[in-house]
Amino acid sequence: MSKDKIHPKCIEGYRSLFDTLYPPLCLFANKYLNDIDTSKDIVQEVFIKIWERKIEYPNFFAIKSLLYKSVRNRCLDYLKSKYHRSMVQSPDIDFDHMLSDEFFYTQLTLIDTYDQLETAIKHLPKKSEAVIRLTLNAYTNKEIAEELSISKNTVKSQKRIAYNKLRQSLGSLLNSF
């Protein structure tokens, strides 16, 4: 096999890494940029650079750390760029705060928590998932019942089921706080 050919398992691993980390990395970048389209572009650029450099990583947590730090650095570079300053009429950005470890780890914790919650919600039964998603969007029980064409009692039952399942699947996360 020539050096230029990439083993299919390597491609599968990279694809899995991308599928797993792309959404939370975009949300993370958006915490810096407040522009989801630019955030998506930056995350894609970071993945492309890692792919092109054929960066080896010992485990998932090592590459995850590298990706988050790379995305943060790329976001800060973007914010500092003359292009961004000339195109966006916004107040000065507090780079000292954004450069701080506290900001980085706070955003990382928020995104990881959101990602774990989203994964847990996706594993709920379909009706419970729909009810919880509407609840998270500040719908009342009455509005949820109307939206899903179910009774208010069914909404309450589905919430109870969802909360119990979420407590079980997120138990270790909740206990760490």
Instruction: Write the pLDDT tens digit of every residue in 103-129.
Output: 888 888 888 888 888 889 999 999 999
Exposure string of 19-28, with b = 16+ CB inside 10 Å and e = fewer, is: eebbebbbbb
The size of the chain, in residues, is: 177
Percent of the chain residues topping a pLDDT of 70: 82
Residue 85 has a pLDDT of: 63
Cβ neighbours for 66, distance < 8 A, ≥ 6 positions apart: 50, 55, 57
Predicted TM-score (pTM) of the model is 0.60
Q: Which domains does the chain have, with CATH numbers?
A: 1-94 (1.10.1740)
Percentage of the chain beyond pLDDT 90 is: 38
Name the burial class of residue 142, with classes exposed (0-12), middle (13-18) and buried (19+) by CB atoms within 10 angstroms of its CB: exposed
Q: What is the pLDDT of residue 84?
A: 61
